[in-house]
Amino acid sequence: MAKYSRLEVAMAMRESGMIPLFFHSDAELGKKVLKACYAGGARLLEFTSRGDFAHEVFAELNKYALSELPGMILGVGSITDAGAASLYMQLGANFIVTPVLREDIALVCNRRKVLWSPGCGSLTEIARAEELGCEIVKLFPGSTYGPGFVKAIKGPCPWTDIMPTGGVSTEESNLRGWFEAGVTCVGMGSKLISKEILLQKDFKKLEEDVRKTLDIIKAVRS
């Protein structure tokens, strides 16, 4: 079962402003990534579910976070059906992120009061997601829509919380554009946890990059 409620996760997302996204089939490497992100100040991480036996890797990472990283909130992304969502919630996922809006996922997550963030690409989809109880909508792919789309949505719907994923980088100009448009938080994958960092196992650099990015977000929000 999830350790953190839907509302607790939503508050953490709003306070942090960033969720690192990551997948690797090696659980031991994943633990080092998780530890580096945590040391850099991140308190959320989305494990993207890709490939066979990904749920087994997540189980190891979540056990590690619960025992070694107090306050670290792990969730799962790239979930496409209710069965997968239920499987990961059984392993303790604290939030579920999906590339599309699916009502079957909303129902199983709401039943357990686990936060779910569906990928939406229109105001109609966003409105439907909020009717189904969504707290924070995922804008995916963010690079396709851009900050202008967020600003336009916030006009008629100022209550909508948006998290773009894809098209978000660690550069100040990029982050400033998103947050000035009105996003609640951003999801950041390979622009933060790069292939180079993983190949070189440069976890100190990852820690520094996470800290620097969170500092930029704090500055552009102030």
**pLDDT tens profile 160-187:** 999 999 989 999 999 999 999 999 999 9
Answer yes or no: is pLDDT of 24 > 90: yes
- Backbone torsions φ then ψ of 99, nearest 5 degrees: -75, -15
**Location of structure tokens 């980088």:** 169
Report the percentage of the chain scoring pLDDT > 90. Answer: 97
Q: Which residues contact residue 96 at a Cβ distance below 8 angstroms, ignoring those fewer than 6 apart?
A: 75, 76, 77, 79, 85, 88, 89, 105, 109, 114, 115, 116, 117
**pLDDT tens profile 44-89:** 999 999 989 999 999 999 999 999 999 999 999 999 999 999 999 9
Secondary element (H or E) of residue 212: helix 203-221
Provide the mean pLDDT of the chain.
Answer: 97
Angle, helix 103-111 to helix 82-90, in steps of 10 degrees: 30
Please report, for the chain, the start and end positions of each structural domain, with discontinuous segments joined by +.
Answer: 6-215
Q: Give pLDDT, residue 42.
A: 98
- Backbone torsions φ then ψ of 23, nearest 5 degrees: -145, 140
Q: How far is CA 200 from the centre of its chain?
A: 24
Mean of the pLDDT values across residues 17-24? Answer: 97
Secondary element (H or E) of residue 139: strand 137-139
Asked if residue 141 has a cis previous peptide bond (ω within 30° of 0), the answer is: yes
**pLDDT tens profile 150-161:** 999 999 999 999
The CATH code for residues 6-215 is 3.20.20.70
Q: Give pLDDT, residue 27.
A: 97
Contact between residue 161 and residue 138 where contact means Cβ atoms under 8 Å apart = no
**Can you read off the two tokens belonging to residue 60?**
């190891």
Give 169's strand partners.
none
**pLDDT tens profile 92-110:** 999 999 999 999 999 999 9
SS3 46: strand
How far apart are the C-alpha atoms of 9 and 206, rounded to whole Å? Answer: 23
How far apart are the C-alpha atoms of 44 and 38, rounded to whole Å? Answer: 8
Q: Give pLDDT, residue 51.
A: 86
Answer yes or no: is pLDDT of 209 > 90: yes
Mean of the pLDDT values across residues 101-125? Answer: 97
Q: Give pLDDT, residue 199.
A: 96
**pLDDT tens profile 139-148:** 988 999 999 9
Q: Give pLDDT, residue 193.
A: 97
Report the percentage of the chain scoring pLDDT > 70. Answer: 100
Q: Give pLDDT, residue 94.
A: 98
Length of the chain equals 222
